[in-house]
Amino acid sequence: MANTKSSTLLPSGHQGRANQRNRTRQALIEAAAALREEGLNPTIAEVAERAMVSRATAYRYFPSPQALISETATDRDMQPLEHFWKPGEDPVKGVGLAANALNKLLIGDEVGLRMMERSFMTVWLENESGETPLRPGRRMSYIEPIVDSLKDRLSARARKRLKQALSIVMGTEALIAVRDVGGASVEESLGAAAWAARALVRQALEEEQVRRKPARSA
């Protein structure tokens, strides 16, 4: 029987290790960015040395220099959410703008996009700890503030489901799916993802409104 891995969230007892892995990943990205700013095209070994981690550790996070460089560029160029949405503004419009901003950044370097996804899959396949390897989760820095702004209009359960649903339409795997399976052009991919994000927020709000509506007496 084929091996399967759990997709559940890490138990609280593992949070310390999860935080450490996240810090290590970020240290590698920052080291790569610093080396590139110095005019270098660094190897994984050089990045590991600058980040003060072992070469083996660095390869567990980034199987190739290209994947690391692509992630570095994405981290550098990602705009803060406040550039196109602030609390109190329309969440439907905001989530469409957020989806477009992130996906446009990623698809701007489609080769790098696919290298990042291959890197994520390689780390997942080679992971032997039994824990789900961390992904950067950049999309959640856009999704969570927008959805949390709806706390007076959506239940906690509805907000959680909406965050999960929105994670499907932003990011590397979302773009690869719509490009390869949906046969979409770059512009069509961006438009479809933003449309889907807006539709998900509208649907969540409509469902919650129906749920809260008092039932008519017979």
> What is the reported pLDDT for 9?
47
Q: How far apart, in whole angstroms, are the C-alpha atoms of residue 94 and residue 87? A: 10
> What is the reported pLDDT for 13?
52
For residue 215, count other CB atoms closer than 10 A to its CB: 5
Say which residue, 63 or 43, is predicted with more confidence: 43
CA neighbor of 78 nearest in space, from 185, 161, 171, 210: 171
Hey, what domains does the chain have and what are their CATH numbers? 13-77 (1.10.357.10), 79-218 (no CATH)
Q: For residue 141, count CB atoms less than 10 angstroms from its CB and return exposed for 0-12, middle for 13-18, buried for 19 or more.
A: middle
> What is the reported pLDDT for 15?
59
Stated pTM of the model = 0.72
Work out the average pLDDT over 168-178.
Answer: 92
Q: If pLDDT is split at 50, 70 and 90, which confidence band does 91 have?
A: very high
Q: How far apart, in whole angstroms, are the C-alpha atoms of residue 93 and residue 208? A: 19
> What is the reported pLDDT for 111?
81
pLDDT, tens digit, for every residue of 51-87?
999 988 888 778 778 777 777 777 778 899 999 999 9
pLDDT, tens digit, for every residue of 119-168?
777 777 776 665 655 566 789 999 999 999 999 999 999 999 999 999 99
